[in-house]
Amino acid sequence: MTKSIDAGGIDAVLTRGVESGAVPHVAAIVADADGVLYEGGAGVRINGESDDPVGASTQFRIMSMTKMVATTAALQQRERGQLDFDAPVSEYCPEFADVKVLEGWDGDTPILVDPRTPATVRHLVTHTSGLGYWFWNDDLVKYESATGIPNVVPGSAEAFKAPMTSHPGERFEYGINTDWLGKVVESVAGTTLDVVIRDNITTPLGMSDTMFALDAARQDNVVMVHVQGEDGAWGSAGGILNDSPDWWAGGHGLYSTPRDYIRFQQALLRGGELDGVRILEQSTVDEAFSHQLGDLTFPAEIPTADPPITDTLRVGPGWTWGYGLLINNEDVPGGRRAGTGAWAGLFNTHFFIDRTTGVCASIYTNSLPFITPGAWGLYGEFEQAVYAGL
């Protein structure tokens, strides 16, 4: 039986978010296993430049929501017996053998050592290899400044020279793991990641607006990344990302629309199948939605190392990581149930898939910093409004 949703209540939340200045624009969508229950939006594509309303067919840079798509590609290869999660990364990408661990500093000179154990593909999938992101790691901010090695956003292959900041298997460290995983997938497939994802995920699921490089028509439908000026007004900061990168980034490279990405969410909600097309086996999906950190824990708080890019992430205790998904171990009062899989993108896009209740949803803006109190609060209100109508 199709569920009912309080569309008016969600509309009010989105409108309030834009009118209050919490976000520059917002689109959202909700579905169950049988179809879309709600879609809507508020605000315009480019403040001060375009009157085009934002909605479920608008193109967004989904950033780290790309990770679950790339992880699915790796899981498909594992199902086919082509990829061994317990094999060293260097077995598929020999250049990974050159990646060292940053253990400290001698003044401004980094102290780099060999990892105590080889990083495996599983370490990449679970963010336990020791690879990090500069915006949540002070050592990587210093490393980039000291060496000139760029982060992944400019799209230069030089970014793969970044070191680990802990030894493999010793802690959860969110970072460029899925970019390396994308290179592993390419090595196994013998082709580029965009082709792998197109042929095995987006085309089978009918996701024609999800891709790494937009054509001219879709470029005219994309939002720009917005930042707030000193007067609090939102303005465009441009596209931020390199449209012609050296590699297709499994960690952050996809564009999508709410209508497209919800089909991917529905496939996971339904155990790996949608409209008669199966992208993963039920048992694999069950693994993705379960604790995969072994004796390690997901941090309750990850302090910011670059406030213009992101605020501190504060999820609190009781969360873990599966395969490409953040999992809550307890029900959220008035919201998602225990065992829900979720994640987000740096430009303030968020999704969740609640297999207990049978709903999935996602909400989008393209703005910085990530998880500001305004955006975080709005997305919490959206989730509460979704569940209030069930």
Q: Is 174 a known active-site residue?
A: yes
Q: Which of 174, 255, 323, 379 is catalytic?
A: 174
Q: For residue 20, with 0-12 CB atoms within 10 Å meaning exposed, 13-18 middle and 19 or more buried, which class applies?
A: exposed
Per DSSP, what are the bridge partners of residue 327?
A: 320, 341
Q: Which of 38, 67, 166, 387 is catalytic?
A: 67
Q: What are phi and psi of 185, to 5 degrees?
A: -60, -45
Q: What are phi and psi of 64, to 5 degrees?
A: -75, -5
Burial 274-286 (b: 16+ CB within 10 A, else e): beeeebbeeebbe
For residue 24, the number of C-alpha atoms closer than 13 Å in the C-beta half-sphere is 30
Q: Which of 38, 64, 323, 387 is catalytic?
A: 64
Please name which of 365, 311, 356 lies closest in space to residue 335, comparing C-alpha atoms: 356
Cβ count within 10 A of residue 114: 11
Query: Kindly report the CA angle at 368 between 365 and 373, in degrees rounded to 5?
Result: 85
Asked if 220 and 214 count as a contact pair (C-beta separation under 8 A), the reply is no
The amino acid present at 42, given as its one-letter code, is A
Q: Is 67 a known active-site residue?
A: yes
Burial 134-157 (b: 16+ CB within 10 A, else e): bbbbebbbbbeeeeebbbbbebbe
Pairing of strands 301-302, 277-278: unpaired
Q: Is 50 a known active-site residue?
A: no
Residue 374 host element (H or E): helix 373-388
Q: Which residues contact 189 (CB under 8 A, 6 or more apart)?
A: 77, 195, 196
SS3 content of the chain, % helix, strand, coil (to 5): 30, 20, 50
The token duo for 50 is 């375009």
Q: Annotated active-site positions, please?
A: 64, 67, 174
